[in-house]
Amino acid sequence: MLDYGAAAAVAMIVRTGSFEKAAKALHVTPSAISQRVKLLEERLGAVLIERGTPCRATEKGAWLCRHMVLVEQLENNLLEQLPELGEVSKGPVTIDVAVNADSLGTWFLPAATAFAERSNVLLNIAVDDQDHTADWLKKGRVLAAVTSMSEPVAGCDVTALGKLRYVATASPKFFSRYFSDGVTAATVGNAPALTFNQKDTMQQDWIATHLSSACAPPTHWLPSTQGFIEACMLGMGWCLNPISLVQPHIQAGRLVELIPGTVADIPLYWQISRWAERQFPDLKHHVLDIARASLL
């Protein structure tokens, strides 16, 4: 049978990022926390916590943390109906959600805020590429995700949100420097691009679609949605940005489209575990409302 005291220790370490903070939250000593985790890891024959700053859950540790969220919410539901068994936990439940950076920078935060204002639930929002957030669901690291994956992950329901539209932009000065002879496979191959991280293929996909080329331009690495826009306006490089964020800059002349009228539409989906959907129906409600008002 699962040692729930040890499992709770693992979940608190992951939530707080350290053994010391977890011990304080659970009102025990750090050595007691360490001993609980060690015994559970020995029993399971698997490492549950990646020791570091901060401490993180391994894949198996993430599954255990997810289980503890479910247990905590189920216990609270039971105690609300049977108060004779004890007091409902006063601490809020935390839901782990994975979101792509551009959704976080455009439409997702209003949805998250609307949900948070009306519930006693906290959100732990992780950021990853939309093509990879579903992996967080598969590995049990999150209960819900904004993803480009339309096929439901096992145990999850999927709902289409709409499409996030992007345009390729550059500053007028940058455009004059690199594209005075037009935007072609040859000129774009010499113009520095901006790339979010190693998972980001949007710029190369745009080149393949609109210029029929497999060239890989030189690139600056910049993992920030807002940083993309600022660097683009400063003339550091060209890149694709959500049209909702750059349209005012295009209209004001601070940015220009590389090829006017060409867009990239990225379909997005909401995947959430069926258990979480039943327990927190308002989360999906707010996500769908805001997404469908903001996306194509």
User: pLDDT per residue over 150-184, tens digit each?
Assistant: 999 988 999 999 999 999 999 999 999 999 999 99
Angle between helices 19-26 and 30-44 (to 10 degrees): 110
Distance in angstroms (rounded) separating the CA atoms of residues 17 and 33? 13
Specify whether the CB–CB gap between 241 and 259 falls below 8 A.
no
How many CB atoms are located within 10 Å of the residue 118 CB?
11
Specify whether the CB–CB gap between 127 and 104 falls below 8 A.
yes
How many CB atoms are located within 10 Å of the residue 164 CB?
25
Going by C-alpha positions, the residue among 164, 223, 166 that lies closest to residue 199 is 223
SS3 content of the chain, % helix, strand, coil (to 5): 50, 20, 30
Specify whether the CB–CB gap between 217 and 203 falls below 8 A.
yes
Q: How much is the pLDDT for 84?
A: 67
pLDDT of 269 strictly over 60: yes
Distances (CA, A) of 235 to 97, 175, 261, 273: 34, 9, 21, 43
Across residues 246-273, what is the average pLDDT? 96
pLDDT of 283 strictly over 90: yes
pLDDT of 88 strictly over 60: no
Q: How much is the pLDDT for 139?
A: 81
The domains found in the chain, sorted by start residue, are: 1-91 (1.10.10.10), 164-266 (3.40.190.10)
Highest mean pLDDT among 56-60, 76-80, 164-168, 276-280: 164-168
pLDDT of 76 strictly over 90: no
Specify whether the CB–CB gap between 99 and 146 falls below 8 A.
yes
Specify whether the CB–CB gap between 229 and 245 falls below 8 A.
yes
User: Using one digit for the tens of pLDDT, what is the confidence trace for 9-41?
Assistant: 888 898 888 899 988 888 889 888 888 888 888
Distance in angstroms (rounded) separating the CA atoms of residues 263 and 292? 19
Across residues 70-76, what is the average pLDDT? 70
Q: How much is the pLDDT for 90?
A: 55
Across residues 72-96, what is the average pLDDT? 68
pLDDT of 192 strictly over 70: yes
**What's the pTM?**
0.77
Distance in angstroms (rounded) separating the CA atoms of residues 220 and 216? 12
